[in-house]
């Protein structure tokens, strides 16, 4: 009985460590901008999908949820914070739809079953990341108006970078899934 309690405690501590380290990685990925065309690329969406694939949707949702909570509480974890504000003010700005989309994307990425077929894996990953952009564009439409060129503002500048990142994930998915056995 004591061994079971010790194992459960050890497993819970591993989960908390993965979640905590995941929020740190998400923060770093939001702050580092990689030169890319037509806009600089961050690695947030890569990590959001990576967490879902690597650790399953439960741990991935907890990681992204804690990251969002940290940002809402005023920690400068989001891209362009504190320069463009912090806390709830920043969260409810133009990027809120995308940030909420992180939750949907990480859930989908963690929910899907992946196999050896890179094309099918790529399609699942693209579907997952699409939820970020769908919610992002919906929020932009609500915030700035539906008469604006929403796709040109909120999707097209990031499309090439997203395809690049998601292709890398699809190529590495078999290796990424192996991380699940460590938790």
Per-residue CA distances from 102 to 9, 63, 126, 139, 157 (Å): 29, 10, 13, 13, 18
CA distance 171 to 148: 36
Question: What pLDDT was estimated at residue 46?
Answer: 97
Q: Quick check: 39 pLDDT over 80?
A: no
Global pTM reads 0.93
Question: In this predicted structure, what is the pLDDT of residue 107?
Answer: 98
- The predicted model gives 26-50 an average pLDDT of 90
Percent of the chain at pLDDT exceeding 70: 99
Rounded Cα gap, residues 146 and 94, in angstroms:
14
Helix axes 44-72, 96-111, angle to 10 degrees: 120
Mind listing the pLDDT tens digit for each residue in 98-122? 999 999 999 999 999 999 999 999 9
pLDDT given at position 7: 85
Q: What pLDDT does 40 receive?
A: 80
What digits encode the pLDDT tens for the residues 56-94?
A: 999 999 999 999 999 999 999 999 888 888 999 999 999
Per the prediction, the chain carries an average pLDDT of 93
Chain segment 12-30, per-residue pLDDT in tens: 999 999 999 999 999 999 9
pLDDT band per the 50, 70, 90 thresholds, residue 1: low
The residues with which 41 forms a beta bridge, in sequence order, are: 34
Q: What residue ranges define each of the domains in the chain, with the CATH number in brackets? A: 2-182 (1.10.1760.20)
């Amino acid at each position: 009985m004591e061994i079971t309690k010790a194992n459960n405690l050890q497993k819970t501590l591993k989960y908390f460590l993965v979640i905590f380290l995941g929020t740190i990685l998400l923060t770093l990925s939001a702050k580092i901008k990689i030169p890319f065309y037509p806009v600089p690329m961050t690695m947030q969406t890569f990590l959001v999908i990576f967490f879902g694939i690597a650790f399953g949707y439960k741990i991935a949702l907890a990681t992204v949820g804690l990251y969002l909570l940290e940002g809402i509480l005023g920690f400068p974890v989001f891209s362009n914070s504190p320069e463009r504000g912090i806390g709830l003010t920043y969260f409810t700005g133009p990027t809120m739809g995308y940030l909420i989309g992180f939750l949907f994307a990480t859930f989908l990425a963690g929910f899907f079953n992946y196999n050896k077929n890179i094309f099918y894996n790529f399609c699942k990953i693209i579907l997952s990341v699409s939820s970020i952009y769908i919610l992002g564009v919906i929020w932009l439409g609500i915030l700035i108006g539906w008469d604006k060129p929403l796709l040109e503002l909120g999707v097209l500048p990031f499309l090439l970078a997203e395809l690049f990142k998601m292709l890398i994930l699809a190529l590495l998915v078999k290796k990424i899934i192996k991380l699940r056995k460590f938790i």
